[in-house]
Structure 1
């Protein structure tokens, strides 16, 4: 094997790669926030008293979890354009990722909700708490605390999966890397740099969620297990 590694050519594009990494993080954090809200809503609908809401949420979850993310990205991007809504690649990628991760978040949060002991709910009912008060103070905090490590892993996977959005020319890290390797003809070096960048971003996201766990869950902080 006579291949000689040369990282100088792709590293000369470091401002573009840095901008792509920032776009990836922005896309991932926005999708995480809105996907979490969507997932919690669907989990509450799935475990609530309304049968039709549970059916709608269940259908959404099954459809999203059993179709490829790339197909969902194409449907959002080209589908919105076909209906007359002109949206940028970043917006379409965010919508697709929110819809995708919301389904997975819903199932994770639902597992947390169903792990709450019935005696705890009965005690809250005896105290005369409204359904919203029960959800706010009795159900959601311990449920999310229990599944927080699973949510963390899911959102890190979301960040890695955002590379698929390069297929609709969203200027995230993989899309920039594709352009760099086509200019430099140094594919191996370019994608090795990108792999290291994704590893670094994964560690950054885990650190952020670790800090969130420290702040949001005092009991885990006392036990020393924020994740």
Structure 2
């Protein structure tokens, strides 16, 4: 017969530390998205250029990021670089791994978004006397943002969830790391990981809610 008593007191004592870990989790995911977007834009330009070397680098990055596990990418950055004498912290390895992954997926989203903007609109804008910069700023980019906005939101949620992989390289101040520390000390696995799951869920739902509000404000017309 199922017989288990949930230890609310133990769980509540850990809540402040877990909330602090949740903040680290969100900050890491947000930074990975910022750097990921910047790199993804560069990769998108590289993949559209006529230079075969730049196009090859861009395509290779996207292919590796999209077709290998994030766990392996983080392992290589932490243990692989360490074996070659280049030691990075657990947090840096996690951030770099998630950024690498984000950039690959976002570059493909941006590329698809650019393809979805009709070329005739670009030609029409140029025929009206707009410069290339004005065309992209006023015609292409607004439509591109509308197309990739929700994929960006999904990738942000995915980045938050991927931060849990930091525990495999010794990160102990994010949400999963704090949860694991309490688990090791008390063996109250169900309580702590159930609370961590709820916090991850709330973070994800908050991101989606904010994204919907922004979409309503930005794309009403």
Taking structure 1 as the reference length, the TM-score comes to 0.88
Q: Structure 1 unaligned runs (5+)?
A: 223-227
d(CA) in 2 for partners of 1:18, 1:128:
54
| Cα distance change on mapping 1:122 and 1:50 into 2, 3 Å | farther
The answer on 1:135 being equivalent to 2:136 is yes
Q: Secondary structure at the match of 2:25?
A: helix
Q: Name 1:13's counterpart in structure 2.
A: 14
Residue by residue over 1:22-78, the C-alpha shift from the partner in whole angstroms, topping out at 9 and shown as x without a partner, is 110010110111111111221222233333322211111111111110110011112
**Structure 1 SS opposite 2:209:** helix
Spell out the pairing of 1:196-207 with structure 2 (5 A cutoff): 196-207=198-209
In structure 2, the CA distance between the partners of 1:140 and 1:80, relative to structure 1 (3 Å rule), is farther
1:1-227 to structure 2, matched below 5 A, reads 1-170=2-171, 171-214=173-216, 217=218, 220-222=219-221
Contact 1:10 1:181 in 2 (8 A): no
**How many residue pairs get matched?**
219
Provide the alpha-carbon RMSD of the alignment: 1.9
Q: Unaligned 5+ residue runs, structure 2? A: none
State the Cα distance separating 1:150 from its structure 2 match. Answer: 1.6
The CA deviation string for residues 167-203 of structure 1, in whole angstroms up to 9 with x for no partner, is: 1122211111111112121111111111110011112
Cα distance in 2 for partners of 1:100, 1:197 equals: 23
List structure 1 segments (4+ residues) > 6 angstroms apart after TM superposition: none
Instruction: Pick closer, same or farther for the CA change 1:214–1:33 going to 2, 3 Å.
Output: farther
